[in-house]
Structure 1
Amino acid sequence: MKQKELDEILDCLGDERRVFYYLKDRYCLDMINWYMENNKRQSLQVRELNKPPLQRFSTKPIVKNITKRCGNGMLTKDDVSLYWNEGTLAFTLTLDRWGEGDRDYDQTSRNQQNLVLQINFDNKHNQEYHRLLKPSDNYGPFEFRGHPIRRGYRKTLSWVRIDADLSTGEALIEEVQNDWLRDVNRDLEHVNKHLSKENTAKPGDVINGIHCEYGDIKEYAEVILKPYKTLWAELSLAAAIRFIRNELGISIIYYHTFDTGRKIKKIYDLPPKSMYTSLPKQFGFEVTNESPMFLQRDKQSKRYLQAIKTPQWYCINV
């Protein structure tokens, strides 16, 4: 993003504390709700969910659970926007910036900075983390300060890097990423290997900064973090789309395809392919050969695009 626009966004929105609630497939309700808003409707006939563009969401259990209660065959905005389930997870969302304007190092599509949406664990998780692992300070063993994470007591589950241009009304999701869960799994494997050789070892002998027993880290990794492991990517993208639409006021959202993304951002270590294939498709993003206008207008980015044979993107209009 242009630094002036990014500064203005952070000045206006950066200090605001956002609470974000999520459960599996909650994004489907957002999509249905926004469809009603865009068409200036307060309700839909349930059978309309079986037609484009909503049919991809109608088969999800969360949607079926709501529609089966619609005795009159009508689904209202309140039905989808106020839905609550006891399995709902809570997070806090914070904003930051990423990059120094060096595309090669920053892995950005332009030689500009990105806006970062950080998805942070709630206090319930943090209390369990401190109770079980007893970290020695606020900088935990599953955090890497070379990435755009929140510092201090709040712990970042994941983050989404966003490029946007308010003049063209477009946003580009550059990256959906996670350190915490991956590092916990990796470190637990290291502890298991160490214990197989020396059964009196403590987890803290392998993982710097924690003071716990083996059963504690095993409970943390396999019980406390279990709800997040299969949902983190989905909930991160859902949070980003909601933020871009509702707070930035942008409805045209692009997302990198695997090949174009790694080429334009110069990524040499291949990222997980599912993050750039099945994840955007799940939300209804469609492939397009039309590049974001703000990249076409940027001289350097335009040159990068011309060097890529048939660049492709995912795009959705919410």
Structure 2
Amino acid sequence: MEAQLIDDIVAILPHGRTRFDYYPERYAWLLLRHAVGNGCNIAELRQSPYAGLLHKPRVKAWLAQLGGPRLRPDDVLAADGDATPLHFTLTLDRWQGQQTTRGNANLVLQLNFDREHDRHYQNLIAPTQRYGPFVCASHPVCEGGRNTLAWARLDIDLETGEVLIEEIQNDWLRRVTHCLKYPRYLQRRGANPDGLAEYAAWLLPRYQRIWAEAMLAATVWFVREELGIARMFYHSPESNLRLKDLDADWAPPRSLYTDLPRQFCFRQQGTVPHFLRHKRAKLARRAPLFELDLGRKAA
């Protein structure tokens, strides 16, 4: 997408930080809101692309309590919020050039840590440099004083109403794990190695399991609610390599491009975004992308 379009999108959206609350498997409620639409029968959901959501523990317990065959949007809204969430914030940025499908710019959606994390980080790691030991400064992290847990890069076409999720990535947790093996790295980056073990013991159980689903949930929410776009595409491992001309040695974890999109009801339909149909259509058909259309109701 063009850099000017990114600037236009950032300009019209709310400025500052957008709060995004998340707890494990909250994405199921966010997706069910759209699947249910104005109302639908549970039997219809079981025959839809959203059927997998009905097997989630929270959703199963909720359905058992409802006791009726039909779901209403208010039922879903009432169920969302039955757990204590983490209070993340979302910010936007721009990414230019590298590892993009069209060799152009991407809109970046950043998922930034909650304040409780930042207090632990400051107290135990006490970084003295602008970019702390767990930040890769060449990646699209937040420059506005918040620590970025993860980010997503998006290629957006407003005319066709389509979004390609280019990548979801996390440096912070991976670097913490690396520093546990090589604590002297913290000293070279102006941080306190004495608090590392305590910090990692608090951090990793809290965020390791949910960071990817929280990032994709925030992305789907942002695309649907803030941009008003229902149709989304997500790279498979094959399309990620072929359409971006990546070396296989630099491939990200396969689970981020297989298990994660399937978890969110993305399916490989053999279709591609309109903006790829002429330039790389044949290549994309040999390496199919995942697709999710939240404009399609279960009924």
Tell me the TM-score normalized by structure 1: 0.84
- Aligned-pair identity (%): 38
Residues 138, 153 of structure 1: 8 Å contact kept: no
Name the structure 1 match of 2:263: 282
Residues 129, 189 of structure 2: 8 Å contact kept: no
Name the structure 1 match of 2:241: 262
Alignment size in residue pairs: 291
Distance in 2, Cα, partners of 1:48 & 1:172 = 28
Report whether the alignment pairs 1:11 with 2:11. Answer: yes
The verdict on how the C-alpha distance between 1:30 and 1:308 changes in structure 2, with shifts beyond 3 A counting, is: closer
**Among 91, 95, 100, the residue aligned to 2:92:** 95
* Amino acid across the alignment from 1:56: G
Distance in 1, Cα, partners of 2:4 & 2:177 = 40
The verdict on how the C-alpha distance between 1:309 and 1:317 changes in structure 2, with shifts beyond 3 A counting, is: closer
Deviation (angstroms), 1:3: 2.7
* Amino acid across the alignment from 2:211: W
Deviation (angstroms), 1:74: 5.0
Runs of 4+ displaced beyond 6 Å: none
Name the structure 1 match of 2:81: 84
Secondary structure in 2 aligned to 1:264?
helix
Name the structure 2 match of 1:226: 205
Distance in 1, Cα, partners of 2:144 & 2:7 = 22
Name the structure 2 match of 1:51: 47
Tell me the TM-score normalized by structure 2: 0.90
Report whether the alignment pairs 1:176 with 2:168. Answer: yes
Residues 134, 212 of structure 1: 8 Å contact kept: no
| Aligned pairs for 1:120-135 within 5 A | 120-135=112-127
* Amino acid across the alignment from 1:287: Q
Name the structure 1 match of 2:229: 250
Residues 14, 94 of structure 1: 8 Å contact kept: no
Higher RCO structure (Cα 8 Å, ≥6 apart): 2
- Structure 1, 63-72 or 173-182: larger mean CA deviation: 63-72
| Aligned pairs for 1:292-311 within 5 A | 292-297=273-278, 302=279, 304-306=280-282, 310-311=286-287
Name the structure 2 match of 1:200: none
Distance in 2, Cα, partners of 1:289 & 1:77 = 31
Secondary structure in 1 aligned to 2:91?
strand
- Structure 1, 135-144 or 227-236: larger mean CA deviation: 135-144
Unaligned segments of structure 1, at least 5 residues: 195-202
Residues 49, 57 of structure 1: 8 Å contact kept: no
The verdict on how the C-alpha distance between 1:97 and 1:36 changes in structure 2, with shifts beyond 3 A counting, is: same
Distance in 1, Cα, partners of 2:12 & 2:91 = 13
Report whether the alignment pairs 1:165 with 2:165. Answer: no
Secondary structure in 2 aligned to 1:288?
coil
Name the structure 2 match of 1:197: none
Name the structure 1 match of 2:146: 154
* Amino acid across the alignment from 2:206: P
* Amino acid across the alignment from 2:66: C
Distance in 1, Cα, partners of 2:284 & 2:48 = 33
Name the structure 1 match of 2:297: none
**Among 175, 181, 191, the residue aligned to 1:189:** 181
Distance in 2, Cα, partners of 1:58 & 1:64 = 6
Distance in 1, Cα, partners of 2:148 & 2:41 = 40
- Structure 1, 247-256 or 220-229: larger mean CA deviation: 220-229
What does the per-residue CA deviation read over 1:80-114, in whole Å, with 9 as the maximum and x for residues that have no partner? 22422343111000000101xx4xxx110113200
The verdict on how the C-alpha distance between 1:286 and 1:46 changes in structure 2, with shifts beyond 3 A counting, is: closer
